[in-house]
């Protein structure tokens, strides 16, 4: 190692799911929405006047912030926006987790949390899920686990399991002195949002994204909703980094997509319907899984190791996600695609699982 390298901030980066580009592939590995975004996105793009690109965008992204505030019936001062919820979460870690005490998150969860903690030198502790992959709320109470903050997804990833609202509230009741971040990337697919708790707890931050339920993963729009004070602290940190994270096109497309509520509800309903049918099919084929409230199902098979199934699917250009990690290395996380895509998956699994071994 050269001398200068000793002073490099070294990080082990997060590894996102692969993005193969093959014609006819079935991509069920990164929880994207199988349906296109609202037609209003195309309208905005077509009408966009490129001359305005000379100018810097609105640093407050007011048009987008207002559309989000209207959607959730909150004040615009309660809304923070960023480049995907990954950006929002990273900013939130930097802003709120500075006590020197370890932050807490589940042992099986979104694998970006420990990466940010390492990057920002935030000590952390992983709290084990129970045997059913459930979060045990008492384990997060400050008197049981002194901590510098809490973060977890609801529903959890990659399990899809929901934590009920009263359990979330109990965690807040027992942690008045730290920020509690609920990452609701998948909440629109049937879990209960923690947003109503904002009225009672000023240290709660709810983070959501347009990447899954609103079919805009390629646009990169995430947002946080919280108490005005929290949002001001977040914006102070963001503007100290880069005042213009949200570009003009993103702001305009995002705002239009939030205003199309009907299409949003339709698409989410289709995904949920396909998910419930897929659960029956997985059961019929000998898989078991927790009761997912997300747009993916985390399955394990009674006889065939997950890694083998993963490889066999890959050869068919059916991409799912496999995590070679303790406790979950016999599971596959399978995104809910269209009914047709899922049928192809089940047809293949049916013949694959029935072949002689």
Ligand X SMILES: *Cc1c(COP(=O)(O)O)cnc(C)c1O
Q: Closest CB to ligand X among 84 and 102?
A: 84
Q: Are 92 and 82 in contact (CB under 8 A)?
A: no
Q: Closest CB to ligand X among 149 and 222?
A: 222
18-26, 129-137, 209-217, 346-354 -> range binding ligand X (CB under 6 A): 209-217
Residue nearest to ligand X (CB): 84
Quote the CA–CA distance of 71 and 274 in Å, as a whole number. 26
Find the shortest distance in angstroms from Cβ 315 to ligand X: 26
Residues 29-68 close enough to bind ligand X by CB under 6 A: 31
Find the shortest distance in angstroms from Cβ 216 to ligand X: 9
- Binding-residue total with ligand X (CB under 6 A): 13
Closest CA to 190 of 272, 84, 117: 272
Quote the CA–CA distance of 135 and 108 in Å, as a whole number. 10
Closest CA to 293 of 151, 137, 134, 167: 134
Find the shortest distance in angstroms from Cβ 1 to ligand X: 33
Residue 217 engages ligand X in binding (rule: CB under 6 A): yes
Among 32, 162, 183, 188, binds ligand X (CB under 6 A): 183
Q: Closest CB to ligand X among 334 and 349?
A: 334
Quote the CA–CA distance of 122 and 166 in Å, as a whole number. 28
Q: Are 190 and 293 in contact (CB under 8 A)?
A: yes
Q: Alpha carbon 211 to chain centroid distance?
A: 8
Peptide bond connecting 153 to the previous residue in cis, omega within 30 degrees of 0: no
* Interface contacts to ligand X, rule CB under 6 A: 31, 84-86, 110, 153, 157, 183, 185, 209, 211, 217, 222
């Amino acid at each position: 190692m050269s001398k200068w390298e000793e002073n490099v901030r070294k990080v082990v980066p997060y590894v996102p799911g692969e993005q193969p580009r093959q014609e006819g592939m079935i991509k069920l590995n990164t929880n994207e929405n199988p349906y296109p975004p609202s037609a209003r996105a195309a309208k905005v793009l077509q009408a966009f006047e490129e001359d305005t690109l000379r100018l810097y965008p609105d640093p407050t992204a007011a048009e987008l912030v207002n559309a989000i505030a209207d959607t959730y019936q909150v004040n615009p001062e309660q809304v923070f926006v960023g480049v995907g919820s990954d950006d929002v979460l990273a900013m939130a870690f930097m802003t709120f987790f500075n006590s020197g005490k370890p932050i807490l998150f589940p042992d099986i969860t979104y694998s970006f949390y420990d990466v940010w903690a390492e990057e920002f030198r935030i000590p952390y502790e992983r709290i084990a899920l129970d045997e059913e992959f459930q979060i045990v709320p008492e384990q997060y109470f400050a008197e049981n686990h002194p901590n510098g903050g809490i973060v977890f997804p609801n529903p959890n990833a990659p399990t899809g399991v929901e934590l009920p609202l009263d359990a979330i509230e109990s965690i807040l009741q027992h942690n008045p002195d730290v920020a509690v971040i609920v990452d609701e990337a998948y909440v629109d697919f049937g879990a209960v949002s923690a947003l109503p708790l904002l009225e009672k707890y000023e240290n709660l931050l709810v983070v959501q994204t347009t990447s899954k339920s609103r079919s805009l993963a390629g646009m990169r729009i995430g947002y946080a909703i919280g108490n005005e004070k929290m949002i001001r602290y977040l914006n102070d940190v963001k503007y100290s980094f880069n005042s213009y994270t949200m570009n003009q096109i993103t702001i305009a497309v995002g705002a239009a997509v939030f205003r199309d509520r009907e299409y949003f509800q339709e698409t989410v309903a289709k995904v949920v319907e396909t998910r419930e049918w897929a659960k029956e099919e997985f059961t019929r084929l000998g898989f078991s899984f927790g009761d997912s409230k997300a747009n993916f199902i985390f399955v394990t098979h009674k006889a065939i190791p997950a890694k083998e199934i993963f490889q066999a699917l890959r050869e068919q250009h059916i991409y799912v996600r496999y995590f070679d990690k303790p406790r979950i290395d016999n599971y596959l996380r399978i995104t809910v695609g269209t009914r047709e895509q899922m049928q192809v998956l089940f047809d293949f699994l049916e013949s694959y699982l029935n072949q002689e071994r």
